[in-house]
Amino acid sequence: MQALRSGVGMAVDAVSAFVLSDFEKGIEFGDMSDVHKDVTFRNDTDLWGDAMDPDGGDGGDTLLDFHDDMLDAFDEIDTEISVGGGSVENVSAALRKIVDDRRRALAERRERIEGALKTAHGIKTRDKIVFVLGVQNVALTAFITGAAPELLPYWYTVKSVVLLLLRWYIYRRNKWHYFLFDFCYLVNVLTLVFLWGFRDNVTLFNLCCSFALGPLFVATITWGNSLVFHSEDKVTSVFIHLAPAMALYAVRFYPSDAFPLCRDAARCSISYWNAAVWPLVPYLVWQLLYYLRVEWWAAQRVRERGYVTSFNYLNKNKKSLVYRLCNRWGARHAQLAFMALQFVYIMLTLVPVKLLYSYQTAWAASYLAVFTVCAYNGGCYYIEVFARRYVASLPDDSTTPAERAARRSRRNTAASVGAAAADASNLPAPAQPTTTSQ
């Protein structure tokens, strides 16, 4: 019996390991720029039910099919243990055969699903859905701001949890996760800490307002954030830089029972010192910890594994102003120059904070202005970049792989014949095509 339990244990472990590896590697979300490795669902497929095949039959594969396969596998294992005869070794071999058969079947099913998800139709359907969600997000945020602004902190919190977790997953997968140590993410964390841990702390509230109205506002321009609705990556970047000011705006000008801090107007006042000078202290603490963690302690790991950080991202373009300023005294001092440049940036962006903090109209107008810049950048992206790049990036679904290979073969044959004829007649050969159909 002990050997039988071991055999069953091995079978169950094998099935579980395959399930876990399939989930870890099979579900991916990303931006359009990530070679369309996103999860996309064809509009003729019901994710939870039966898939309808245009040619008849049961069509495809769904999550319920996956679970049915798992249940069938365990039923077969249970049956083999209950009614199977022979030695323990025979039972163990039979269980292993069941696991191997199911493993092959699931691997084949996964290949079919991945092929369907990478079609042009699937990519476009996915992006249409994300686009609709992005527009609805803006509409709902505007509605809450007008109808019940006191709910904005809750709305901000819900979106923070979803978008920041999604960003961590995407960036970790693409070796961009060291971006998450950047200052803008710290401000979002501090805002959440204030909202749900220390909502009566004036010092923390004013600190969050200073960073949200200063560095984060201007960062939308320096980083070129754009409101591109079909891209969750670009929408998240806009959210990270603008949303803290939105939530704090509600606390500042629309106090409620949940967030009563500013019901006493005297408490919600700020001096120039507290708005533009004192915040430099916690910023310097963050800068020191960031340098020790990312640029010193993890420096070798970043280089060996190809991780991307803010410094090596901004410092890679030799024609950029950041590169010229950071490398003015040589590459050896580029990192220190970059930190000094960041500190000057923080100092300058904190200057107008007191004005924005003190007047609701100034706060709202500055928010609208920055949002308009993001919308304009998004419009430029759609008109000047997206239309051309998006169409070019889609796979050609109009032909089969065999047809595309035959087309390339015909072009190569024609080029060879043309070259031979040119040699015979001393004429230049026709140019070889520089592109091929996908």
Question: Coil, strand, or helix at residue 45?
Answer: strand
Mean pLDDT of 148-175: 94
Residue 218 is encoded by which pair of tokens? 């201007």
The pLDDT-based confidence of 416 (bands split at 50, 70, 90) is: low
342 neighbors 280 (Cβ within 8 angstroms): no
Residue 144 is encoded by which pair of tokens? 């809450």
How far apart are the C-alpha atoms of 420 and 174, rounded to whole Å? Answer: 47
- What integer pLDDT is reported at residue 241 of this predicted model? 96
Mean pLDDT of 414-432: 46
Q: What is the pLDDT of residues 178-232, one digit of tens each?
A: 999 999 999 999 999 999 999 999 999 999 999 999 999 999 988 889 999 988 8
> Residue 326 CB: number of other CB atoms within 10 A?
23
Distances (CA, A) of 392 to 19, 407, 435, 438: 35, 18, 12, 9
77 neighbors 98 (Cβ within 8 angstroms): yes
Residue 33 is encoded by which pair of tokens? 């720029």
Is 309 exposed, middle or buried (CB count within 10 Å of its CB: 0-12, 13-18, 19+)? buried
How far apart are the C-alpha atoms of 347 and 342, rounded to whole Å? Answer: 9
Q: What is the pLDDT of residues 355-382, one digit of tens each?
A: 999 999 999 999 999 999 999 999 999 8
**60-69, 104-113, 149-158, 200-209: lowest mean pLDDT where?**
60-69
Share of the chain above pLDDT 90, in %: 42
The pLDDT-based confidence of 317 (bands split at 50, 70, 90) is: confident
**Whether pLDDT at 129 is above 50:** yes
Share of the chain above pLDDT 70, in %: 67
The angle, 0 to 180 degrees and rounded to 10, between the axes of the packed helices 280-290 and 183-196 is: 120
Residue 162 is encoded by which pair of tokens? 């979803």
- What integer pLDDT is reported at residue 160 of this predicted model? 96
For 271, residues 6+ apart whose C-beta sits below 8 A from its C-beta are 354
Residue 57 is encoded by which pair of tokens? 């039959």
Q: Report pTM.
A: 0.64
Distances (CA, A) of 253 to 73, 212, 267, 396: 60, 15, 12, 53
Q: What is the pLDDT of residues 34-79, one digit of tens each?
A: 333 333 333 333 333 333 333 333 434 445 566 666 667 667 776 7
Distances (CA, A) of 373 to 157, 356, 368: 24, 18, 9
For 160, residues 6+ apart whose C-beta sits below 8 A from its C-beta are 188, 192, 243
Q: The dihedral of CA 302, 308, 310, 313: what is its sign? A: positive
Distances (CA, A) of 424 to 109, 248, 418, 429: 54, 79, 10, 10
Q: Give the CA count within 13 Å in the CB-facing half-sphere of 115.
A: 11
Q: Which position has the token pair 């490398």? A: 327
Is 245 exposed, middle or buried (CB count within 10 Å of its CB: 0-12, 13-18, 19+)? buried
Q: The dihedral of CA 61, 62, 66, 68: what is its sign? A: negative
**Whether pLDDT at 422 is above 50:** no
- What integer pLDDT is reported at residue 13 of this predicted model? 53
The pLDDT-based confidence of 305 (bands split at 50, 70, 90) is: confident
